[in-house]
Amino acid sequence: MSELLQNYFAGRWQSGNGKGTTLVDPVLGTELVRVDSTGHDLAAGFAFARAAGGAALRAMSYAQRAEALVAAVKVLQAHRETYYEIATANSGTVRNDSAIDIDGGIYTLSTYARLGAGLGDRKFLLDGEPQRLGKEPLFQSQHVQVPTRGVALFINAFNFPSWGLWEKAAPALLSGVPVIVKPATATAWLTQRMVKDVVDAGVLPAGALSVICGSSAGLLDQLQPFDLVSFTGSAETASIIRACPTVIRHSVRLNVEADSLNSALLVEGAAAGSEAFDLLCKEVAREMTQKSGQKCTAIRRVFVPEALYGAAAEAIGARLSKTSVGNPRNDSVRMGALVSRAQLASVREGLATLRQVTDVLHDSDGRPFVDVDADVACCVGPTLLGSRAPDSADRVHDTEVFGPVATLMPYRDAEHARALIERGHGSLAVSVFGDDFGACAETAASLAASHGRVHVVTPDVGATHTGHGNVMPQSLHGGPGRAGGGEELGGLRALDFYHRRSAVQASTEVLSKFGPAQARE
């Protein structure tokens, strides 16, 4: 029987008392490790995190907590190759795709270490300038932000076991809030190993970082009024969390990142074969195949002017035809597998749904996979669909296939394009491609209300932009409506979620003892 991974909970490593769930290599079909969370004293674990981890973190300044994050970065960098091996085995990703998760997580952690160092020796933050409450300036109001005296529970998705952990944990720990992470079971191994390495290195106070792998049963029941929940996953699960009696009763602060039908748009005026046109086609193909399309930010819908529909279909298809799919251990492979048989079945089901209202413009699923047993491996080739009637293709605007699938659609004019994009009911990201700077700026402003991030690509940044689906810690991550309504990252803005704002009304002399306000970076 495979190894049972331990959970770090209540300040010690401990195993569940059940048989556990076996994690399987999605390419080879071999058993890897087991995870189990049954039998733990959940109340004791949450209490230890709040009391021991929270008190120790709050006793440190922002600069001291930033130093702890620097130490954690060094630990993670020392074990990078082990993480790559785990990602290949457990997630079925090629090395470049594993880097997005592993190195992206480490980079995000190091970014918050740098931001925290700039906050200095403070233990709480000032929010704005003092405001007089009367005719005389003697008595004023100063808003402050102080770390919440609760615990942050992270319920994470399967697609980013490293980045999903650290993009949440970095601002939480910097804020002085202890973390309990519950990774998605299918890919929990990498999260568990990273937490183990950091915990065993002793760079964080006991109780500051905990991990529990397996079932999430009972976790939400442990929440108290000052606790926080950050969830990444399906809108269906998000609705269950929102309706949890404990969350409602205690008004638990909740951040949700859910489904997202992200778009790419080629603005009017760009011709077929132009640099802007080529940049769009390149980015669409990359987003479809990177991590086998298993990214919450991946491009799902592509909009081009009506006259360019055929040319775009041909150009994107030509790029997709060069993508070899199969065993990520083979150097010739450019796209690995989906993470599980369940995910493979979900993608096939979603693809069948979309095919009822679309044409197949490029289908590489029939090509032989490289160095795998097709009956065992969770591999699927990229598929580009198309609809010349986007106004009536309701399913394209409602159904997200979490795999290497996108749908190309034509639009009549700028207003038509905006209306089609907004039928996604709120998304994490949209990319705008064009060579007319004014038109790109106007389009970006019009789409900002329905997207957490607007990524504008013009020829002058064609070689330097960070990528449609690449979530940078300096920029906001989240989105309205269907995307969950949450906000993460965005530099120091991420700390807002883990702080409580309060107004201190006092004399000018008392307020002066708080020191000068700290500017956001």
First to last CA, the chain: 50
Q: Which residues pair with 410 in a beta bridge?
A: 304
Angle at 421 between CA 416 and CA 427, to 5 degrees: 160
**Catalytic residue check, 509:** no
User: In whole angstroms, how far apart are CA 385 and each of 217, 283, 357, 365, 419?
Assistant: 39, 16, 9, 13, 20
Amino acid letter, 322: K
- Candidates 383, 429, 421, 387; CA nearest to 405 is 383
Amino acid letter, 396: V
Handedness of CA 160, 162, 165, 168 (dihedral sign): negative
The secondary structure of residue 474, as a DSSP letter, is T
Catalytic residue among 213, 268, 287, 296: 296
The secondary structure of residue 519, as a DSSP letter, is P
Give the full edge-to-edge strand order of the sheet including 31-35.
Answer: 3-4, 31-35, 21-24
- Candidates 175, 168, 111; CA nearest to 495 is 175
Q: Which residues pair with 370 in a beta bridge?
A: 326
CA gap 317, 26 in Å, rounded = 26
The secondary structure of residue 464, as a DSSP letter, is T
- Given a contact cutoff of 8 angstroms between Cβ atoms, the answer to whether 53 and 205 are in contact is yes
- Given a contact cutoff of 8 angstroms between Cβ atoms, the answer to whether 363 and 381 are in contact is yes
Catalytic residue among 257, 287, 400, 487: 257
Angle at 364 between CA 395 and CA 391, to 5 degrees: 20
**Catalytic residue check, 244:** no
Active site residues: 257, 296
